[in-house]
C-alpha cells in the first residue's frame, strides 16, 4: 500500500458534511431545539444517543474528560449520575463548572453546552437509583471509582460482598446526580467545505458563530 492511500495518512482522511441550520428554522428556546435534535438522534438509531462528553477541571485548572450518559434534561439543565468521590466528582467539588458535547456524528451534528454544576436533590438521586438494573446498583456500591485497585479479583470480591447484603439497595451516600445548568448551548450543523452552521443560545438571545 502506497503512503498516499495508507489509513495512517491522517491528512487525507476527510468526510464532506451536508445539512443546514438557519435562524429561521431554530426553535424559540435551547430546550425545544435540543428536544428536537435528540428525538432525531433516537429516530436515526444512533448508538447511545444520550452519550455525552463531559469535560471538567480541578482546582488548579488541570482538565479531564470522559463520556457519561444523560439521564434527564429540562429547563434547569442536563442531569447525569456518578460517584461523587470519582475524579469528575472531585473536580466539580473544587470547580463547579463543566462543558458537555453530544457527538451525533452520523447526523453531522453536535450540541455543545457550557455552564455551572450543582448536585441534584437526594430525592432525585433515590428515584433514579431505584430504576437502575440491579447489577448497576451493586456496581455503584462496589466500585471505588477512579481509585487504583490491585486486580479485577478485588473488584469481584467487593461485588460479592454487596450482593450478599439482605434487602433492596438504596443509593450510596457517596453517589448521586449532577445537573449542568447552561449559560450557553451551541447547535453545530456540519456543512460543505467546512463552512458549518453554529447557532448559540446565550443570555436570552441567539448568536451565529463563524465556522
Known catalytic residues are 194
- Our CA angle for 10, 7, 190, nearest 5°, is 50
Cell of 107: 447526523
Residue 108 gets the label, from left (phi > 0), alpha (psi -120 to 50) or beta, of left
Assign 186 to helix, strand or coil: strand
81 contact partners, CB below 8 Å, separation of at least 6: 71, 125, 128, 129, 175, 176, 177, 178
* Alpha-carbon gap, residue 27 to 25, rounded angstroms: 7
What burial letters (b/e) apply to 82-115, b meaning 16+ CB within 10 Å? bbbebbbbbbbeebbbbbbbbbbeebbbbbbbbb
**Burial of residue 57, with CB atoms counted within 10 A of its CB: 0-12 exposed, 13-18 middle, 19 or more buried:** middle
Is the torsion defined by CA of 130, 135, 141, 147 positive or negative? negative
Amino acid at each position: 500500500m502506497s503512503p498516499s492511500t495508507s489509513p495512517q495518512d491522517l491528512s487525507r482522511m476527510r468526510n464532506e458534511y451536508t445539512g443546514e441550520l438557519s435562524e429561521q428554522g431554530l426553535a424559540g428556546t435551547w430546550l425545544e431545539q435540543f428536544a428536537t435534535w435528540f428525538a432525531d438522534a433516537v429516530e436515526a438509531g444512533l448508538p447511545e444517543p444520550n452519550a455525552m462528553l463531559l469535560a471538567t477541571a480541578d482546582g488548579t485548572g488541570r482538565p479531564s474528560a470522559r463520556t457519561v450518559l444523560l439521564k434527564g434534561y429540562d429547563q434547569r439543565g442536563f442531569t447525569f449520575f456518578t460517584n461523587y468521590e470519582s475524579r469528575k466528582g472531585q473536580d466539580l467539588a473544587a470547580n463547579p463548572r463543566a462543558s458537555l458535547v453530544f457527538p451525533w456524528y452520523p447526523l453531522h451534528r453536535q450540541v455543545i453546552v457550557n455552564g455551572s454544576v450543582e448536585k441534584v436533590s437526594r430525592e432525585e438521586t433515590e428515584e433514579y437509583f431505584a430504576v437502575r438494573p440491579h447489577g448497576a446498583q451493586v456496581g455503584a456500591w462496589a466500585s471505588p471509582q477512579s481509585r487504583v485497585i490491585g486486580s479485577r479479583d478485588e473488584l469481584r470480591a467487593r461485588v460479592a460482598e454487596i450482593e450478599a447484603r439482605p434487602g433492596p439497595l438504596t443509593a450510596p451516600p457517596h453517589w448521586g446526580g449532577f445537573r449542568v445548568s447552561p449559560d450557553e448551548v451551541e447547535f453545530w450543523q456540519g456543512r460543505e467545505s467546512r463552512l458549518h452552521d453554529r447557532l448559540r443560545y446565550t443570555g436570552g438571545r441567539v448568536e451565529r458563530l463563524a465556522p
